Structure formats: C-alpha cells, structure tokens
Structure 1
Amino acid sequence: MAPSYYSNARTMSSSPPTLLSRLISALPSGLSAQMQRLFDSQNGGYSSVSTAHTPHLPRSLRRLERSFHPRKLLSLPHVFIAVWVVLLLWGERWVFRSSVEDCRWENWERWPKEATPHHLVFIADPQLIDAHSYPGRPWPLDKFTVLHTDNYMKRSYISLQEQLHPDTIFFLGDLFDGGREWKTAHGNTQDPSWANGLRPSGEQVYVDTWGKRYGEDYWLHEYDRFGRIFYDFWNLKGLDPNPWQRGRKIISTLPGNHDLGFGQQVKIPIRNRFETYFGEGNRVDVIGNHTFVSIDAVSLSAGGAEHATKELTQPVEDFLANVQSLKRKAVQRELSIQAGQEKVLQYVHKVEDLENVDFSHLPTLDPGPSGPELPTVLLTHVPLYREPGTPCGPMREHWPPETPPKGQTSPVFPDHRNAISISKGYQYQNVLSEQDSVNLVHDVGNVKAVFSGDDHDYCEIVHPENKNSAREITVKSTSWAMGVRKPGFLLFSMWNPIDASGQPLYSTPSGHGSTATTMESHLCLLPDQLGIFIRYLILLVLTLLTLTIRAILVPILNLSHFSSPPSPTTSSNNDFPLLPTTQKREPTEERESHRSSNSSSNNIQNLNLAPRSSAARTRSVSPAKGYGLPASQVRFATLPLINAAGYNPRWDEGKSNGSSGPIFDFVGNGNGAGKREKEAVPLKGIKLVWREAWTSIWRVAWVVICVYLWLAYYG
C-alpha cells in the first residue's frame, strides 16, 4: 500500500484550481519559479503535488483562501454583516436622500407652466451642540451626540443642495446653542449684578468653568464648524441659479436668543462679535420680487425693560424708523438692475459752509411714499404675539389639534396643547409682547407673510387685522436634538412677474381665500433619527440572539464550524513543514506482511534513531537514510483534520489500527533527536459553544464598526 502522503498528494493535485492558485499561476515566470522552489523546499525536496492546481501556499494565504471559500462567505455571520451594511447605508445615507427627494419643487408647486419661480429655503434653529447643551453628559456620550447632530444636519443639507438646489437660503436664528456664553476677546461679558440668581440651578454650577475654559477661540471654532456644515456645501451643485434668477444667496445674519441672549440680558460685546462675522441682524433684501425685512427681535425685546440701555436698543429702533425708506430704495435699485441701468447716488462737487448746508434736501434714491412697493416678508427669530391657546394646525408634531365637536368646521379655540405656550424665562420668551408685535408690523408695512423660529416645532396661524392679517409660519428646527422626532425645513416658492414700474403682471388665486398670492410654502420633513437608532438596536439584539443560538446548536446538530479549529504546534492541513517528520504507528496487517518478507532484526535496528557521523551530516540524505527509518514508515505530517462535529478522524484511525491512544509525530531537530507533540484536543461542550459564539459575533462586530466609523467620518 502506498504511503498516505502520496495518496494525499494525488487527491490534492486532482482538486480544481482555487482563487489563490489562479492568482499565483498568473505571476511572472521568474517569481513563479522562486515560489515553486520555496514550496518544494517546504515539501522536503519533493514536488509531487501539482502547483498548477493547488500550490503549497504559506499558512497565512491558506487561511485567507479558506476565509473566502463560498461556503464560509455564505455563513450566517456573513449574512448578518450584509444586512448590517445595507441598514447602515440606509440609515446614514439613503434615508436622507429619499426624504428630501419627496419634497421636490415640482411635487407641490401650483404655478402656471410658463412660471419661473424663485426657490428659497428657511432653516431654523440648527443650534450646534456644544459645552452648553449637555454640561453633565459623560465624555463618550457627549462626543457621540455632537458627531451625530452635525452629521445629521450635514447629510440633510447635502441632500437639500443636491435634490433642490435653492436660489436662496435664510437662517432664522439660534445658529449656536451656547454662543451667548462664550466670552469675547474684548469687552465685559460677565452677568451684571442684577442678573444674579436668574440662571437655572442646573446651569449656574457651570458658569465659572465656562468663563475659564471657553472664550473667543472656542467661539471661532464653533463658527468654523458651522461653516463646514453649511457654507462648504453651498455650491455643491454649481453656482448657476435657476432660470431667470439673478443669483444665489445664503443669509445667516438673523440672531437668536442662544446667539445673543434675550432682551435686557443681551451683551453688547457678544452682539458686536456676532455681527462682525455674520452681518447686521437688521437688514432689507429684495429677492424674487419680494422685500424681505429681517429684525433683531431679541434686542428689540429690551425696549422698556428695567435694565435696558440706549446702546442696546438704538440700532433696531433706528432701523425701524427708516425701514420704509430702506424698502423703497431697495426696490428702486432692483428695478433699475432689471432694466439694465443701475442707478448710483451722485452728489454735486462743491464747497460750502457747514452752517449753510441744507440737509433736508440731500440727494437720495428714495422715490418717496408714492414709489413702487413689493410684497413684504417679515423675518424674526421670536414669533409674533397671539392669543393664548391659538392652535398651530395639524402639522405640529408635539400635539395634534383637538377634534372639533360635531357640526363645527373651525378649529377648537383655545387649544392649549396644540398652541405655542405664552410664557418666558431665563434668556427666552416664547413670543414677542403684543405691543412690540403690533408696532413691528406697522413700522415695516405691507407685511404679507411672517417667518419665525425659536419654538423648534411647526406652527401656522393667521394674525388679526392689527397685524395686517399676515400669515405666520414658525419653522421647525433642522436638528434632531431639539426635541422633535422629525426635524425639517421650509420650502418657499415665489413668483411675482412685474413691469418696469414694479406693478404685478400676473398672480394666482390663493389656496386660503379669494386674494391673489405670489408665495407658496411646503414643509419638508427629515428622517426620524431616533427611529433609525431603534432599528439599529433591534437588529443588534437579533444578531446577538441568533448567533448565540447557532453556537449552542453547533455541537448538538453537528453544524459546520464558523470558527477555525485550534492550531496545533505542528503544521496545518496540506502543509509541508520545513523539517521532515516521522510517525510511529502500531503495525497493521499490511505492515505485518511487509515485515515478514524482511528480517526482524533489520527493522528493529532501523527504528533506533542512531546518531549520524560527521561525514554523513555534511551531505544531503533522504529522510529514510538520515533518520534510520525504512521508507515505508517515513511520511510528512499534515494537520489533523477536524470534522464538522469537532472530532479528529485520525484519533479514531489510530484506535482502529489497534493502538491504545492517539497518534504522535516525531519531529526531527536536525541532530537526529525527536520531539513528540500531541495533536490538538478537539473542543467539546461549553468551550466549543463559547468559541463559536465569540468568533461569529466578533466577526460581525468589527466589520460593522469599521463600516459605521467610515460613514461617520465622511459625514
């Protein structure tokens, strides 16, 4: 009977070529020859196994080959890896694109076919999470919160730019969460003595720490962080505006109470810093043939307060005193640009005494009260006043409107659950005072629509006549950390074709009455981040439970092992060690017949591992001659095979051959001496279950973690 080595060689050479064998056969001829010589040396100088089909690969390559075997790839842990990758791609990427794609302009606009509307987006209360948001939250959790809120807004904003490509974006305040707390490089930003005790107790304990650790540098870091989320992706789809639009704008000048504070607690140095980097909070813009008036409502609210100063309220008061003239001049400049002849203010060059100058008749671009006027849109961070219990409508997330009694068609009033609460506290006030609201609408004039933020949830109401019956929409926060499950932003479409004098040429009927409208809006909801986390948690529990149950069933049902068998100290399956090895067996019937044809004394002498002479050690000899063994008893050891049940078939082979125990290998050490090593003991019971559970769970875990970190790192 031929030795088992040659039998094994024939089996290997007849097997089909594997992926790695094809790769090695494709190497250049010189490199292939070197690898062949290496494999032959590992084979003790014999090249009986065909490397064209199954080369004698190094152990690391063979392990890699076994890992990519189709049966291993289609195992249960790898199925879970595939499910996790798909879920992560959905929860971190695809769900944002699909949510914004549903809000495409053509899906809800009702303009005529020939219309070329201006597309604008309102973003409210991003409130970047910082040290002020969750001061007591431990280190890993607070970093995780910052990472996910930033990524959430960045992904939403990228999808907005890719899918909608608006012409203009307005931010409605509260760009930062703790912007009012971080001290400036110049000026006093400490709380005045009269404000002691006004802070909530949970915040007061951190004031000293904030004053020492967070200052101008920290605020500038937050400013850069805001830019990396929103400014960096503004031109993601190019600079070109939509057809017949003059350009694209992004305006983030409107301050909120978290940026400056509220009312008499606004600090001048903090406001100066905000306006230095973002621009003045009070401004007039003509966009899409509509006039937008932005108001610093948090500073306006200081008027008449006990501790207010003139320096604090003067800018907004001066702006409102001249806002009508500013509006007319902005409209006149827009009309001149559309006509191709932009007007520039010019003065007569002459010298005259200061006492004789007539300041009441200075040149101006203001055409006067009779000049053209466009529909006015008022922007304020704090909503205008309304009666307590005024319902916000069905799109408010916190509480849906109460069901009206049978036969009543109008909403229930008052509906306190569905309404914005009329309340105030430290550094906030849910709505402006009634007098400030009425005066604001009157001073601005011709207010058709109002857009505000601050509340974090959606609210839509129509004001009474003392506020020009203006429709106000409070825009949802765009951050998932602001107390709403589904954040969002507001799409605003404007189409107001006018002639050279500013008179409208066309208007569509309003969906809210018989009056004409030049504006349409649509609430675009973003994904439910908490719902995404819940899906992750469900799949995590399912993964752990399923893989643990499978590990328990492996020894019970003789399932195939996912974990590799424990590696013995000898070479692995199909390996050919660098040193030749011999094996001692109990004689079988064939060996008995073979031994009967030879002398008994010669066989006994050959089994003695006699040391070689110095001359013999200097020349190459075969294993049979060098170690004093007959050729029939010399072979190269291979890794003991572990079957699906976790047992070693060669263990049983030794017993079937008449031996009383396992088979041992003698490994030559080059000096004629031998070292016996046992085969690996098969795992059984709880050890096998533990190895299967740990290996499969860890395989899924590290791949999923790597995919998640990659998605998180690239936003």
Structure 2
Amino acid sequence: MAPSYSNGYGYPSSAFPVPSSSYEYGHRNQAELHSICDDISSGARTMLVQLWAYASGRGRHAAYGLAMRAAYQFRRNMVRRRLLSLPHLLVALWVLVLLWGERWVFASRVRSCDWDHWEDWPDGATPHRLIFVADPQIIDPHSYPGRPWPLNPLTIVITDNYMRRSYRQLQTVLRPDTVFFLGDLFDGGREWKTAHGDFEDPVWAKGHRPADEQRYLNQWRKKYGESFWLKEYARFGSIFYDTWSLGGRFPSPGQRGRKLISSLPGNHDLGFGAEVKVPTRHRFSAYFGETNRIDVIGNHTFVSVDTVSLSAGTSSMKDQVDLRPIFAPAHEFLREAKAAKRRAVQKELRFWRGEVEELVFEQKVEDLDTVVYDELPTIDPGEGVPDFPTVLLTHVPLYRPPGTPCGPLREHWPPTPPPKGQPGPVIPDHRNAISISHGYQYKNVLSLEDSIMLIESIGNVRHTFSGDDHDYCEVVHTDKENTREITVKSFSMAMGVPTPGFQMVSLYNPVDGQGIPLPGSPGTTLQTHLCLLPNQLSMFMTYAALGALTVLVLIVRAFLVPVLNLQTFALGPGQRPSSAAAALLPIFKAKDERSGDGDGSAYDTRPVTSSTSSSKFPSARAPSTRTRGQSISSSNGTAPPQRGGASLPSSASASSAKGKWGWAQSRGPRIEIRKDAYYDDGGRGARLGRGGAWRPASSSSPSSLRSRGAMGVVVREILTTTWRVVWMALLFFTYLAYRG
C-alpha cells in the first residue's frame, strides 16, 4: 500500500476513498477545486470585512487623531512670528538660489548668445541659423559601472535635467532653423544587444576591453538588450525631440523649413573601426536615419560621413579579417559624393524656381534591343556647374600633426604664452592640442589617409565640424585645402569639461536661379559663435558654500536666544485636548494657597470653566509640597498635607470627595496646574494677591529657558532650525528635479 501524503489541508490521503474510475477521479478533482476556490473566496471576504471594520472603527479614529494632530501642528506653525522667523527667511533665500541655479541661469546664459549679439551680415539679410550639438552621451550603466545604486540614478537625473533645461532654452530663446547632432548620442549604445544578428565580440577582439569593463560584460549581456536600448532611445527623445516644437512650427523668413538631423554616429553608438558591429549600425540607422547623407541647408551643402565605420578600412586588422561589411558603405558613398552633391544642389534650385524637384521621365515605349542606357536623362548637370560651399560633418576630428594648438577657447589648457617677440602661437603646444592617441573603441583623430580621402572625395570643403574630444578646438588644415575645422564642445556636464557648450552657425549665401552668388554677396558665407552653458559644478559649490553659511547663521542665532531672551523657534510638546469634547469638561480649582507661614486653607467648591480669566487661575494652585504630576486629592479620599506638616480636616476632605470632584475623579481627567506657571516679578518672594503674576507654562518663557539650561536650548535650536531649512530646501530641489 502506498504511503499516505498530505494534500495541503492537513489530511492524509488515506482519509479519502480511492476512486474506482476516471470519472470519479475527475469528479473528486473538480470538488477539490471548488473547495479551494470557496476557501479563497471566504478568506477574501473575511479580510474585506475586517478591513472595513477597522476603517469604520479604530482606523477612522486613528486617522481622525492623526489629522487633528497635523492640523494642530500646522496651526502652531502658521503664525506670523514663525513664518517671518530667520529659518524661514533662509528657506526663502534657498528657494531663490535654487531657482537661479536650476532654472534662470540657463535662460540667462543662452540669452547672452542671441544671434543679434554676434551676427554681422548686411542689412536686410535673412541668414539660416543652425546649431551643432555634440556628444550628449546620455548616462547609462556603461558610464559608471562601479557606482552604488543611489548615486547612479541621481547622476542620470542631474545630467538629463541639465541637458533638458539647456536644450529647452536653446529652442525657446534661439529658435534655430536646423539642429545637427555630431554623434555619441548614447554612452553605451554599442554595448546593448540587438534583436537580430551576431552581437558577440569576434575572437580576435576578445581581451581588448579594459579590465573594469570586462568584469561587467556578462552582466551587460544578460541584463541589457534590445528593449533596454529602445528605452534609452525614448529617453533621448524625451530630452531632444519632445521639446523641438518649442522653437516654433514655422521657419524664419526666407528659409525652406526647420530640420533636426541626428543620424551621424559616434564611437559610443557603434564602436570604432574594426570592432564596429554591423547589427548595431543597422539598428542605429533604422531609428536615426542613414549614417552617410547629404543635406542642402541655407545654400550650403552638408556632407555627413560615418567616419567610425570608415576607419575600419585603414585598421591594422584589415589584412587579417574581412572588414568590408563595415567600411564598404562609407567608401561607396564617398565615390559618389561629388555627383550626389550636384544632384542635391539642383533639387534645391528647382524648388526655389518653383519646379518639380525630382526628374520627370518621358512616358514612351522602347524596344529593349535598341534602347541606349548611356543617354538616360539625369538631374546631374555634370562637372563645371556652380557649387555651394561644402561643410563636412564627422564625429572623429581630422588628422593634424601632434602638438597642433587648438586656440584660446579650449578649456582644458589655454595656449602656452609665446616667447617675447614671437607674434604667432607656440607650435607644437601639446597641452593645448588634441592628443594623437588611441585605445579600445576610440581614436582621437582620424588617420592621415582617411582625412585626405574625405577632403578629396567630397571636394570644395570649406568648413569641417567634428565632435568626440568634448572640448573646443579650432584648426586650419593647410595641407587639406585650408579647411577650417571646429571641434564642438560636449553638450553634457558629465564629459570631463566643466563648462559645456554648443556651436552656433549663421549661413548667408544669396544666389540666383542657377546657383551663382549674387553681386555684393559677402565673401564669407558662414559665421560661428561658441555658446557656453552654465558650469554646474561651480553651481554645486555655490550650494555648498550657502549651506555652510546657513548652518553658521543658525548656530549664531541659537547662541543668542538665551543671551538676548529671543523667541525660540523650537516648539514645546504643546497641551491639546484629545477631542473637541474634552475642552468643554469642567475644571475645578483645589484651594486657595495662602502665604508660606503654615496657615491651613479650606477647599473652594466653585467651579471654574475653561473660559475663566487668567487672573482667577492662581487661586487654583495646589499645595507646594505636591510634586508635579500628582493628583490633587489622594487615593484614600484625604487631602494632601499642608506645608509644615499641617493636615486638612477630615470633613473638608470628605466634602471634597463628594461634592467638589464627584464623578470627575473616576471619569474625567485629573487637572494639574504646573508650579512653574507662577513667577516672582520683583524678586521679593511675592505671592498671589501680593504683586505676583501668572504666566502659562511654555517652553519659550524665560523661566522655562532657565529651568532647562541655556546649553540645552542652544542645542535644540540648532537641531530644529537646521532640520527645518534642510528638509524644505531639499523638498524644493526634489520638485525642480522632478519637473525637469
């Protein structure tokens, strides 16, 4: 016989008959299922009944008591002397400083870069206004893998809010016609798995990672994939796409339309050179657009090139591994770049002439044996036609000799002062230059071979804009057709540069219907301006300095409270009746206190309600020998002894027990008059009726301060006022961070 087992309800299986057929077996299972459902339903109903009973009884009373206590504390705080106290004035100062540091300073900095402050075009010009944003590199688990949980999310919130506020002001104040992103949109975009394709590192690349990344690789592969990358894409969009409409729905006068182009990838988006993952690039181009493209904007031709993939063609691994899937698209694009530029220019001119942009083919039937494909109509007019000035966009800067100085606007290191009598800059100036170095998944500048190929393949490159370095650098490449290159500052505060920024570009190139510049056109068709954003680290230092000053002021005030008898900020425990009805209960005074000569006193049975004037309360004082907290009448019905050993008459005690207190002793509260409610106003030992005065017992009265000791008051004031300023300032900072 099989051993019995438990069915989960505490009964062995032998307690139930063994079914003789499958029908009985199924019937029993169905019955057990109904029993389980009934138990669950009964338990749920019981729980709901208990919750309802609690909410209707004790829960309601507890909530009411909590609300009454909160209202009582709120009423105690909402008085003029507390609202206008020094701690609250410091809170108001913190609110203003936080508004400046988290809101107003962004508008002030961006407003100082307004186009009218630096543009220099002829009167009546209608320039196209463009802004370059480089290396936003939104923070993710790849950025600081070793940071503990609270710091990493806080860093993400702070850096995202910094870029969101800056970009919002960029749109609302500057209202650019076009915004270009120069790569590195993400920090770890190359690390997150794709839904399709081989994402593993090639065998020859294993071990190239730094040790601090290698130990997190397995965790990244398991935890972060396509869904995480899509969340990061949405996060990027919430910062930069959702606020695009703040710049206006329509372009400025004379412009074709507003554009936002973010398809140029960086090494943190795809990787670099031979280690670029093709599935990652496919995903990037699917969501951001073609990585190699040509745009005609403001009568200038902008050529964007995926140079992180292009670099695979000059990699040291090109002879050992087939890297054509990585660099072939960029090479093919460059081979057709000049013809593609001409076609793009002709489409733009057709638009301004009021013609159809695309080529219209004649509808006719031809014999396949006689058709001539070499004579097909094309929009490309061929070489020798007018060309717009060309602007090259690349994430990685072009090659330059080591030590080439970047100019005075570079923040890392200013230029080395030249020797006396030398008019030009010091060359080489390694500390002011971009370092010519490389490492895992990065290279500070392109190879000389790739740089020359870019300039020659595209042609007529007047200006180049790049990113990647995070700091400003301006170089004129004399060996590359005197191309002027500007490396744009990072837009993020977390990229190692204390003062982030962006590059403003104003384009003005008036042409006729054939693309020929009009007479009187300016010789320079492009003007630039570096706009610096707030130094958030400096602002945090301001917060720290203000915090130290706040604590110092509160400490000084706390020490002055007992010295100058100032009003204390710390509230006492307060005496509040437990309910509204308790305030209406009768209050009786025990007896009149005589002078301290040992005279006896009779009980006074006159009732005194809560509305009795303060001048009558002194007559209710208990004998001086009764300790604080002791009942006025003793438990055996006799009155407490008088000072000096005298006792009350027993008749008086009995009368008190029957007539004066009555039900109050057993049902009502026991009334206590605190001894420190009386003080001598002249130091002469005067008592009631002889010059004495009465003051309610309060933690803020001078006598209470003296009783607790000056040092205790100081400590309590420091803790109370500091905590009040801290939590209110942090609450406001949290609100600003939540609002973005």
Tell whether the structures are fold-level matches, with TM greater than 0.5. yes
Q: TM-score, normalised by structure 2?
A: 0.77
Contact kept? 1:586, 1:657, Cα under 8 Å: no
TM-score by length of 1: 0.79
Match of 1:377 in 2: 391
**CA–CA distance in structure 1, aligned partners of residues 305 and 550 of structure 2:** 53
Per the alignment, residue 739 of structure 2 pairs with 714
Alignment of 1:146-225 (within 5 A): 146-225=156-235
Does 2:514 align with 1:501? Answer: yes
The answer to whether residue 456 in structure 2 is matched with residue 449 in structure 1 is no
Could you tell me whether the CA contact under 8 Å between 2:174 and 2:247 is conserved in 1?
no
1:578 and 2:584 are equivalent in the alignment: yes
Q: Which amino acid aligns with 1:610?
A: A
Q: Aligned letter for 2:93?
A: V
Greater RCO (Cα-Cα under 8 Å, separation 6 or more): 1
- What residue in structure 1 maps to residue 567 of structure 2? 560
Report the alpha carbon displacement of residue 72 of structure 1 after superposing the two structures with TM.
1.6
- Tell me how far apart the structure 1 counterparts of residues 466 and 155 of structure 2 sit (CA, whole Å): 26
Q: The residue matched to 2:568 in structure 1 has which SS?
A: coil
Superposed, which structure 2 residues align to 1:80-91 within 5 Å? 80-91=90-101
For residue 693 of structure 1, what is the aligned residue in structure 2?
718
What secondary structure is seen at the aligned counterpart in 2 of 1:318?
helix
CA displacement at 1:506 relative to structure 2: 4.9
Residues in 2 aligned to 1:569 and 1:62: alpha-carbon distance in whole angstroms:
8
Instruction: Name the residue aligned to 2:540.
Output: 533
Match of 1:650 among 664, 670, 678: 678
Give aligned pairs, total: 611
Deviation at 1:481, TM superposition (A): 0.3
1:239 aligned to which of 249, 262, 282: 249
Counterpart of 1:562 in structure 2: which amino acid?
A: F
Superposition pairs of residues 48-127 of structure 1, within 5 angstroms: 63-127=73-137
Residue identity matched to 2:442? Y
Deviation at 1:543, TM superposition (A): 1.9
The change in CA–CA distance for 1:521 and 1:349 in structure 2 (over 3 A counts) is: same
User: For residue 497 of structure 2, what is the amino acid of its counterpart?
Assistant: V
SS in 1 for 2:436: coil
One-letter amino acid of the counterpart of residue 462, structure 2 = K
Q: Would the aligned equivalents of 1:394 and 1:401 in 2 still touch at CA under 8 Å? A: yes
Match of 2:433 in 1: 419
Q: Give the aligned residue type for 2:504.
A: L
Q: Do the aligned residues in 1 keep the contact of 2:192 with 2:228 (CA within 8 Å)?
A: yes
In structure 2, what residue type is equivalent to 1:545?
L
| Aligned equivalent of 1:551 | 558
- AA aligned to 2:488 is V
- The Cα shift of 1:346 comes to 3.0
Amino acid at match of 1:609: S
Give 3-state SS (helix, strand or coil) of 2:260's partner.
strand
Deviation for aligned residue 1:583: 2.9
Distance in 1, matches of 2:218 and 2:576, equals 63
SS at match of 1:209: helix
Partner of 1:38: none
Q: Does 1:490 align with 2:503?
A: yes
Conserved? CA contact 1:262–1:298, under 8 Å: yes
Whole-angstrom distance in 2 between the partners of 1:269 and 1:378:
26
CA deviations 1:537-593 (Å, max 9, x no partner) are 111122223323433443344221101123357799x9982322223354347xx99
Change (3 A) 1:276 1:355: farther
The CA distance in 2 between the partners of 1:292 and 1:185, in whole Å, is 32
Residue in 2 aligned with 1:609? 656
Distance 1:714 1:230 in 2: 16
State the match for 1:30 in structure 2.
none
Q: Distance in 2 between matches of 1:164 and 1:391?
A: 31
SS at match of 2:246: coil
In 1, Cα distance between equivalents of 2:604 and 2:504 = 99
The 5-angstrom pairing of residues 225-624 of structure 1 reads: 225-305=235-315, 306=317, 307-349=321-363, 357-464=371-478, 466-506=479-519, 516-568=523-575, 577-588=583-594, 605=652, 608-611=655-658
SS at match of 1:158: helix
Kindly provide the CA deviation profile for residues 633-652 of structure 1, in whole angstroms up to 9, marking residues without a partner as x.
xx997997xxxxxx944366
- Taking structure 1 as reference, are residues 682 and 289 closer, same or farther at Cα in structure 2, changes over 3 Å only? same
1:704 aligns with 2:729: yes
Identify if the C-alpha distance between structure 1 residues 59 and 489 changes in structure 2 by more than 3 Å, giving closer, same or farther. Answer: closer
Secondary structure of 2:485's counterpart equals strand
Instruction: Note the alpha carbon deviations across 1:167-193, whole angstroms, 9 max, x for none.
Output: 000000000000001010001111101
Q: Distance between the aligned counterparts of 1:131 and 1:292, measured in 2?
A: 34
Task: For residues 12-51 of structure 1, give each alpha carbon's deviation from its aligned partner in whole angstroms, at most 9, with x where no partner exists.
Answer: xxxxxxxxxxxxxxxxxxxxxxxxxxxxxxxxxxxxxxxx
| Alpha carbons of structure 1 residues 197 and 89: separation in structure 2 relative to 1, 3 Å | same
- Amino acid in structure 1 at the alignment position of 2:345: V
Shift of 1:356: 5.6
Distance apart, 1:163 and its partner CA: 0.8
Aligned-pair distance for 1:320? Answer: 0.6
Report if the CA contact (8 A) 1:336-1:343 is conserved: yes
Q: Distance in 1 between matches of 2:587 and 2:345?
A: 97
| Residue among 136, 152, 164 paired with 2:146 | 136
In structure 1, stretches of 5+ residues that fail to align are: 1-57, 510-515, 613-622, 629-634, 641-646, 666-678
Counterpart-to-counterpart distance in 2, 1:693 and 1:149: 34
- 698-707 or 172-181, which deviates more: 698-707
Structure 1 residues 168 and 471: alpha-carbon distance in aligned structure 2, compared to 1, 3 A threshold: same
Q: Distance in 1 between matches of 2:429 and 2:243?
A: 41
SS at match of 1:116: coil
Counterpart CA distance in 1 for 2:95 and 2:165 is 18
Question: CA distance change for structure 1 residues 539 and 322 in 2, over 3 Å: closer, same or farther?
Answer: same
Distance 1:237 1:295 in 2: 27
With over 3 angstroms needed to count, the CA separation of the structure-2 counterparts of 1:436 and 1:684, relative to structure 1, is same
Aligned to 1:684: 709
Conserved 8 A contact 2:591-2:603 = no
Question: 1:302 is paired with a residue of what secondary structure?
Answer: helix
Higher mean displacement: 286-295 or 355-364:
355-364
Matching residue of 1:53: none
Alpha-carbon offset, residue 71 of structure 1: 2.2
> 2 CA distance for matches of 1:314 and 1:652?
99
User: Match of 1:241, SS?
Assistant: coil
Alignment identity in percent?
A: 53
Q: How far does the alpha carbon of each residue in 1:209-229 deviate from its partner, in whole angstroms, 9 at most, with x for none? A: 111100000100010000000
Instruction: Return the alpha-carbon distance in structure 2 between the equivalents of residues 627 and 224 of structure 1.
Output: 70
List alignment gaps of at least 5 residues for structure 2.
Answer: 1-67, 606-647, 697-703
Instruction: Indicate conservation of the 8 Å contact 1:492/1:519, yes or no.
Output: yes
> Is the CA contact 2:390–2:459 (under 8 Å) kept in the aligned structure 1?
yes
Aligned partners of 1:244, 1:597: CA distance in 2, in Å?
Answer: 98
In 2: Cα distance, 1:120 partner to 1:607 partner: 98
